[in-house]
Structure 1
Amino acid sequence: MTEHDDDRPRQPGRTVARSDPGRAMAFSDAVIAIVITVLVLDLRPPDTEPGGLLAGLLDEWPTYLAYAASYVYLAVIWLNHKAAFTRIREMDIGLQWANLGILATLALVPWPTAVIANTARTGNLADERVAVALYAIIGALLCLSWLVFFSYLARHPDLTHDHVDDDYFAHERPRALIGVLLYLAAGAAGVFIHPLVASVIFLVLPVFYGITSHGYDQGPSFLRRGAGSAKSS
């Protein structure tokens, strides 16, 4: 911690202990690495007769798709998490719990991924609708945990580095809210229209969060213009 950081004013009346974010980052990285590894456990060899291995492998394509989508999603979460923590100078107990909330929800991702893979093998449309709805609920909860995380930092700018705009995390909240709404919409589309519609949204959302993983201020020009307009209004 630099002398300049020590001089940053704290919120009046707050005497709670603060800690360096290094341990939280290391713990979070370990959890994300374990969760990504768990995803692989559902990639099992197909049960086929001799000579039918190729056909059996090709029939497992829904499993590969579910793994790829969840892996990319978790990778993007790691990028977003890393980008957020480069702006955090110190942590209090509230921010610790907000971070643990993100880890608790992302640890659930392998569960709906496995459910989608297993129901795809059966070919039962009713079960597939339930599976995508479950995935959508977990995705929405994960985005909601990010909304809580961003909102806490928006209310406590004294926890961030001096070079970070005090409104930065307030402007990050719409990204999380978009995810909550789109995951719920994807679940509804999967139930009332077709599971493939939900699957397309599940694939598109990580792309959006990957593009904006370092925030609107470092994303594509059209996102920066939109963020700038919102800030000036």
Structure 2
Amino acid sequence: MNKNRVEAFTDAIIAIIATIMVLEFKTPETYQLSGIIEELPYLFSYATSFFFILVAWYNHHYMFSITQRITKKVYWVNNFWLFSMSLIPVSTAWVGRYINHTVPELFYFFIFLVWTIAYLWLSRSIAMSLDLTDKDKADKIRNMPAYKSLENKYLILALILAVFLSFVFPPIMIITTLIELIIMSISTPEDADKIFQ
């Protein structure tokens, strides 16, 4: 399958997802500062989700730059990953409207969890495809900091703890997501900015 077409399709879907989230950000109905202050919970959830998409795209771009071909399996797993990402605007809007309530926060976490499973499945599928042609590149995928952090047992324990804490302090879910994203954005592959040089 043509890798460039799959990349272009993926980039277009991600751009649409990132763009439609801002439509939920309502223009204040007053010129008073209080109007924008009322929208701060959504602005925070929007900023977190937008950052989420940027980090996801960066790591996806890295994986696709070192892969040599797109198998049928990689194509369909990539589509599942895009589907999981397409649910981010819904969870973002719900959390933004009810940031101090547990159910929207847990739904946001559930979407993040589905996305994580899809991302790990996609990474593994690409690595397995590369195993047949270039073991070094397959190892690059498996050694990506994002891949390793999502498989980290301490992260899993932290997320489980955050779920329980969300019944006491609901915003902990989106705050935990933001912290994880910051770590993933700092921990990128060493050659990520040199891949096309």
**Normalising TM by the smaller chain, what interval?**
0.7 to 0.9
The aligned counterpart of 1:22 is 4
The aligned counterpart of 1:166 is 138
| Secondary structure class of the residue paired with 1:167 | helix
The aligned counterpart of 2:195 is none
Show CA shifts across 1:205-230 (max 9, x none). Answer: 111221234x3x558xxxxxxxxxxx
Structure 1 position 209 matched with structure 2 position 184: yes
TM-score by length of structure 2 reads: 0.84
Query: Which stretch of the first structure deviates more once superposed, 59-68 or 175-184?
Result: 175-184
Show CA shifts across 1:140-159 (max 9, x none). Answer: 11111011011212322257
Structure 2 unaligned blocks of 5 or more: 193-197
* Contact 2:51–2:181 (8 Å) recurs in 1: yes
The aligned counterpart of 1:146 is 119
Structure 1 position 177 matched with structure 2 position 151: yes
The aligned counterpart of 1:76 is 55
- What does 1:1-233 correspond to in 2, within 5 Å? 19-48=1-30, 53-120=32-99, 125=100, 128-158=101-131, 162=134, 164-172=136-144, 173-178=147-152, 181=156, 182-191=158-167, 193-213=168-188, 215=189, 217-218=190-191
Show CA shifts across 1:92-115 (max 9, x none). Answer: 100101111110111110011000
Show CA shifts across 1:111-132 (max 9, x none). Answer: 1100011114xxxx5xx11111
* Contact 1:88–1:159 (8 Å) recurs in 2: no
Distance 1:166 1:41 in 2: 39
- Pair 129,90 (structure 1): closer, same or farther in 2 beyond 3 Å: same
Supply the AA of the counterpart residue of 1:86: S
Distance 1:99 1:175 in 2: 20
- Pair 29,183 (structure 1): closer, same or farther in 2 beyond 3 Å: farther
Distance 2:76 2:149 in 1: 20
TM-score by length of structure 1 reads: 0.72
Supply the AA of the counterpart residue of 1:139: F
Question: Which structure would you say has the larger Rg?
Answer: 1
Distance 2:79 2:13 in 1: 10
Structure 1 unaligned blocks of 5 or more: 1-18, 220-233
1:170 Cα shift? 3.0
Distance 1:152 1:104 in 2: 17
RMSD value over aligned CA atoms?
Answer: 2.4
Aligned length: 188
Distance 1:185 1:147 in 2: 21
